Amino acid sequence: MNLLDLYRKEYIEKRFERMELFLQIQYKYEIKKALYPGSYVHITPSFVIPQVIYVDSDKNANRFFKYPQQISEFLEGNKKYQAKPSFRFINSDYSKPLDLPENHFDLLISQWAGPVSQFCKNFLKHGGILLANNSHADAGIAFLDSDYELIAVVQQKNEKFLISEENLETYFIQKFDKDVTIESLIQSGRGIAYKRTANSYIFKKII
């Protein structure tokens, strides 16, 4: 099987690339450097962001990234910017120490990967953007973390994405009143029920 068949199978055929989402994030927040812990082989961010570092402990992801030349050629044919794509893969559990510069990245991507907002916070620059969904409670965790401020939400209809900064106070209101902490959400690994939800949530690192 061709190396890139795995990407096509997981993202193109399932219509799960989310190119438009990353394009909007890059344009709105002027993203140049991104960190994507728990990325698997989802290299779509590199279509719109010139520098991306991917982190995953999965063996198939490790095998995929062992062919950087083939990936580079694929990115060259799909990129939306002038510069040469720059990417790197780290085969590691992101909760372990990573040899990366602190306060460096414009964007931290947390999608279906657990508490990225906590373990990789130090790599995100002051004023940097966290894009998180709540599948493993990370958006809820970031909302409780005073180092982050909710600045927008992402709504999805079919394959269209809309970034909204309106009525943010209506999100993260619990359906059932529970005592919830960052630690309890990390331990459970599951998001709780909220009255209003979004596809993803956008936070700014303020501390």
Q: Which residues of 140-172 are buried (b: 16+ CB within 10 A; e: fewer)?
A: bbbbbbebbbbbbbbeeeeeebebeeeebeebb
The domain 5-205 having CATH identifier 3.40.50: the answer here is yes
Q: Structure pTM? A: 0.96
* DSSP secondary structure of 118-140: HHTGGGEEEEEEEEE-STTSHHH
List pLDDT tens digits, range 156-201. Answer: 988 799 999 999 999 999 999 889 999 999 999 888 999 999 999 9
Quick one: CA dihedral 52, 4, 10, 25, positive or negative?
A: positive
The pLDDT assigned to 207 comes to 85
List pLDDT tens digits, range 26-64. Answer: 999 999 999 999 999 999 999 999 999 999 999 999 999
Closest CA to 111 of 141, 140, 132: 132
The pLDDT assigned to 2 comes to 74
Quick one: CA dihedral 116, 106, 74, 67, positive or negative?
A: negative
CA distance 57 to 37: 10
List the chain domain ranges.
Answer: 5-205
